[in-house]
Amino acid sequence: MRDLDNSPAGQETAENLATTAAAVARGSTDPAVLRAASDLATMRVEYGGTPFGSGEDTDLDEAWLAGGWEPLLRHWIEQATAVGIAEPNAMVLATVALTDAGPRPVARTVLCKGLSPDGVTFYTNYDSAKGAQLAADPFAAATFVWPALGRQVHVRGTVELVPAETIAVYWRSRPRDSQLGAWASQQSRPIGSRAELDRILAETTARFAEVDDIPVPPHWGGYLLRPDEVEFWQGRRSRLHNRIRVRIESDGMKVQRLQP
C-alpha cells in the first residue's frame, strides 16, 4: 500500500512551517519570519454555496443518512472522482503506537481499496509501523478530505484482518510493478540509500522474471476498519459547519447533529 505523506514538497513545507514556528517561539523580530507567521494565521477559506463541480448547494441533512453511512460516503467519493480530484479514495489513517512514554498517535495517508456497509478496507505490509501498531492496539481512525468540495468524512472503529481470499482477489488486480515493490520493500525499516532500494527491487524482479502470477507475500495483506462511528462534515460560512455523526450500535444506528 502506498503512503502519500512523504513527498519532497510535503517535507519541505513541513520543515519551513516548523522553522517559522520555532523562530517565532524564540521571539524573533525578523520581518520575514513575522510576515510568514502572519500569512499562515490569515490563511482561510470561506465555505458555503455550491461546492466546485458538485452541482449541490443544499445543507447536509440527517435525512441523507436514511440509507446508512456507506451510500453517502460512496456518493461523495464518486462526486470527488467526477470533478477530477486526485486520489479521491485517499484517507489519513491514524493508529496508536504504544511506547515506553505512553500511547502516541501516528498518522499517514493510505488509499481506501474497498467500501461496504461493514467498513473501509486498505492494504499494507503487516510488518510495517502501522501493521505493528494495529497488532498491538486494533483501533484506528480514517479521514477522507476533499477541500475543493468542502467535505470531510471521519471513520472510527476497530480494525480486523481481511480474509485471505479477499486479499488474493485484490492482489491480482495490482500492477506487476506494485506486486514486485511489495516483495522488495521491508516497509518502515531503515535503508542506507535509494541505490540500495533499487538494487533490492532489481533482484526481486529477476527472482520473479519467469513467474507469470506473482504470489501474495506472506507479510502483506488487508485490514477492514469496521466503524462504530462515522462523521460527515460539510463546510459552511462563518465556520458554522454542518457535522452529522452516525453511531453504529447493536440495535441499529443513531444519527446526531453536532455543533461545529
Q: Which residues have a catalytic role annotated?
A: 239
Instruction: Note whether 130 and 108 are within 8 A (CB).
Output: yes
Query: How is the chain split among helix, strand and coil, in percent rounded to 5?
Result: 35, 30, 35
Distance, in Å, from the CA atom of 241 to the CA atom of 228, rounded to the nearest integer, reads 22
Instruction: Note whether 90 and 4 are within 8 A (CB).
Output: yes
| DSSP 8-class letter at 137 | S
Counted residue by residue, the chain has a size of 260
Distance, in Å, from the CA atom of 80 to the CA atom of 52, rounded to the nearest integer, reads 10
Cβ-proximal residues to 85 (8 Å cutoff; 6+ apart), any chain:
146, 148, 149
DSSP per residue, 173-216: HS-HHHHHHHHH--TTS--S-HHHHHHHHHHHHHHTTT-SSPPP
Three-state secondary-structure class, residue 59: coil
